[in-house]
Structure 1
Amino acid sequence: MLESNLKAVNDDVKKLTKDAQALFQAAAELSGEKADEMRNRGMRLLDRAVLTAQDAQASVRVAGKQMADSAESYVKENPWGALVTAAGIGFLLGVIITKK
Structure 2
Amino acid sequence: MTQFISQNLKNDLLKDFNAVVNEGEQLLKSVVDEGGDKANALRAKMESNLKAAKDRLRHIEETAIETTKTAVRATDNYVHENPWRAIGVAVGIGAVIGLLLNRR
Aligned to 2:80: 76
Cα deviation, 1:66-94, whole Å, max 9, x if unaligned, reads: 10000000000000000000111111112
Aligned to 2:103: 99
Matched, 1:54 2:62: no
TM-score (norm 2): 0.66
Counterpart residue type for residue 41 of structure 1:
K
Q: Which runs of 4+ in 1 moved over 6 A?
A: none
TM-score (norm 1): 0.69
Q: Larger relative contact order (C-alpha < 8 A, sep ≥ 6)?
A: 2
Structure 1: runs of 5+ lacking an equivalent: none
Matched, 1:90 2:86: no
RMSD of the TM alignment (CA)? 3.0
Separation in 1 of the partners of 2:102 and 2:43? Answer: 58
Deviation at 1:31, TM superposition (A): 4.1
Structure 2: runs of 5+ lacking an equivalent: none
Matched, 1:32 2:36: yes
Cα deviation, 1:36-70, whole Å, max 9, x if unaligned, reads: 11011011101111110110110111111110000
